[in-house]
Amino acid sequence: GRTQPAMSAALARLRSLLKDELLVRGPQGLQPTPRALDLAEPLSRALADIQRTLDFTQAFDPATSSATFTIGLSDHPTFALLPQLVAHLAKAAPDATLQVRNFSARDDSIDLLDAGEVDVTVGVPAAKTGRILTQPLFEECFVCIVRKDHPAARRTLDLDAFLALPHLLVSPENERFGHVDAALAKTGLQRRLALTLPNMYAAPLLIARSDMIATLMAGVVAASGHADELALLEPPLMLEPIPFVMSWHRRNDAHPAQRWFRNCVAGVAPDVRR
């Protein structure tokens, strides 16, 4: 560590260079100025990039590493993939730290990777760009759900019965047009939306307590904790499975620790409940 005089001298040089006090004394001790707060994030990213560069020259041993890995997860992988990843890292890299960042809009993953705020992301595919690399992890098929004692649960769900029901739409990006609506639009049909919400894991409970129907990924229903309160029905229209991919920035592609971490994420993907 540095001595107090050395720290004071370094702060004086920074103040002179940046023409700002940077730290001022307040009731709670030293407080950063607005200029210091503006500098904090870009300097943190720059230092992280330098640390990654230095780490690249060192052999990576997960058994002894105290590295921090940061993963960006959309809603579903947080529940479906994260428990397996945490369990794996606890055994393979017991001294490592896993940091999780959540995102909703699919293209937010690109922003997180560009800024160096995460090492990898897992979610539905974002817009294609040459600087972002991807690897398929798993797919989720759709099921329709109603409460277990719903009249629709007593028979095969046909398209007319499907359209006659009030629908719940899960829309993480707050759109009113989902996969079901796109499939219906191809034949000139539309459904009645009774409720839209951004959090897919709230949907099963809401369906179990209402007369609505929802079309959700099967893995969401399985992991929600409410599957025993619901009747699962085959959707009466063709819906393509939803792919989930791991994404990372090209600058980290050959980094030994990063490559090891990506292999860990890919390795637990087959254990996702579907």
CATH number corresponding to 142-233: 3.40.190.10
Per-residue pLDDT tens digits for 13-31: 878 887 888 788 877 778 8
Q: Residue 263 corresponds to which tokens in the numbers above? A: 């292999």
The conformation of residue 270, written as its DSSP 8-state character, comes to G
Per-residue pLDDT tens digits for 70-117: 999 999 999 999 999 999 999 999 999 999 999 988 899 999 999 999
Q: Say which range, 3-7, 71-75, 143-147, has the weakest mean pLDDT.
A: 3-7
Q: Residue 258 corresponds to which tokens in the numbers above? A: 């990063």
pTM of the shown model: 0.76
pLDDT of residue 144: 98
Across 52-66, average pLDDT: 75
Of 36, 40, 122, 28, nearest to 78 by C-alpha is 122
Per-residue pLDDT tens digits for 176-223: 888 999 999 999 999 999 999 999 999 999 999 999 999 999 999 999
The domain 4-56 is placed in CATH, from the list 1.20.120.1200, 1.10.10.10, 1.20.1730.10, 3.30.70.270, at 1.10.10.10
Q: Do domains 4-56 and 142-233 have the same CATH topology?
A: no
Query: Cβ of 130: how many Cβ atoms within 10 Å?
Result: 6
The conformation of residue 230, written as its DSSP 8-state character, comes to E
- Rounded Cα distance between 76 and 122, Å, is 9
Does residue 274 register a pLDDT over 60?
Answer: no
φ, ψ (nearest 5 deg) of residue 65: -75, 140
Tell me which CATH homologous superfamily contains domain 68-138+246-271.
Periplasmic binding protein-like II (3.40.190.10)
Across 143-162, average pLDDT: 95
Does residue 56 register a pLDDT over 70?
Answer: no
Does residue 273 register a pLDDT over 70?
Answer: no
Domain ranges of the chain: 4-56, 68-138+246-271, 142-233
Of 80, 54, 91, 85, nearest to 69 by C-alpha is 85
The conformation of residue 165, written as its DSSP 8-state character, comes to S
Across 165-175, average pLDDT: 89
